[in-house]
Amino acid sequence: MKHARILVNNQPVHGIVQGDWIVLDNGERAAVDSADYLCPIEPRQVLATHLTYRSRCVEYKMTRIPDYPAFFIKPLNSVSHHNATVARPRGCKFLNYEGEVAIVIGKRCKNVSIEEALDYVAGYTCGNDISARDWQKNKPSKQWLLGKSFDTFAPCGPVFVTADEVGNAENLRIQLRLNGQTMQDSTTAQLIYGIAHLVSYLSQVVTLEPGDLIYTGTPPGVGMARKPPVFLKPGDLMHLWIEKLGEQRQTVHAWNPALIDA
């Protein structure tokens, strides 16, 4: 099933996508194309990893594939949604997109094995790990967390699709287009660490709860690695499409508190 969460009369309502309609918990229907989407789940935490694609490691000319995944946290203030605004921070010149598959945890998960891990996955959604490279790379001590943490920096949705409908999540095509130009085009078959590996590894440290999100890393084509580099600017339009999970859109604006969703 495809689950959505939308605003109706300024109230969040859950529903199931059926064709061109979202059948809401209150019995009403909303058109898929005109719904006012929210993040499809209400996460307790958002965790993310990086350099998880073999082809991305090649892009960065790494001489050795990492032995273990490396994780970081994106705070809840960064969570955004389909058709939302990405706010470019004041003074930020090096803003990047990172299209990713995001895992939705389905039940409490702690110290699970790789063999058990997929039993704890409820489904998947589209995620975009927006990054302010000025903060991540150029600040003293390299402010990795802060570069990932600005408001609107974790778009998610428009829907989350249950694991049984997705099937094998390790062979999904990912495409991100910027102003109509394809910037990222790969598949999750390039993942160094599979979905089960990521969930199992993370559960050794963090107790995962239903609805928690895990961003699984991005394939090559990120703007910082391109020659010449490509950075997001006000007016840019991003389309992230992931096979079986749908398409997510965001527009970039200069920082303005009036444009940031509550």
**pLDDT tens digits for 36-45?**
999 999 999 9
- The neighbouring-strand residues paired with 251 are 85, 237
What pLDDT score was predicted for residue 143? Answer: 66
- Pairwise CA distance, residues 97 & 139, whole Å: 19
Record the pTM.
0.93
Residues 9 and 80 in one domain: no
Residues 6 and 55 in one domain: no
Residues 26 and 97 in one domain: no
Residues 117 and 12 in one domain: no
Residues 165 and 237 in one domain: yes
Residues 28 and 130 in one domain: no
Residues 110 and 6 in one domain: no
Closest CA to 244 of 147, 174, 156, 149: 174
Residues 148 and 29 in one domain: no
Indicate the range of 83-92, 146-155, 159-168, 219-228 predicted with least confidence: 219-228
Residues 170 and 250 in one domain: yes
Residues 169 and 217 in one domain: yes
Task: Show the domain range for 28.
Answer: 1-36
Q: Rounded to 5 degrees, what angle do the CA atoms 137, 201, 155 make?
A: 50
CATH code of the domain in which 214 resides: 3.90.850.10
Residues 119 and 225 in one domain: yes
pLDDT in tens, 126-185: 999 999 988 877 665 566 778 899 999 999 999 999 999 999 999 999 999 999 999 999
CATH code of the domain in which 16 resides: 2.30.30
pLDDT in tens, 168-177: 999 999 999 9
Residue 28 has pLDDT above 70, yes or no: yes
Q: How many domains does the chain have?
A: 2
Residues 102 and 147 in one domain: yes
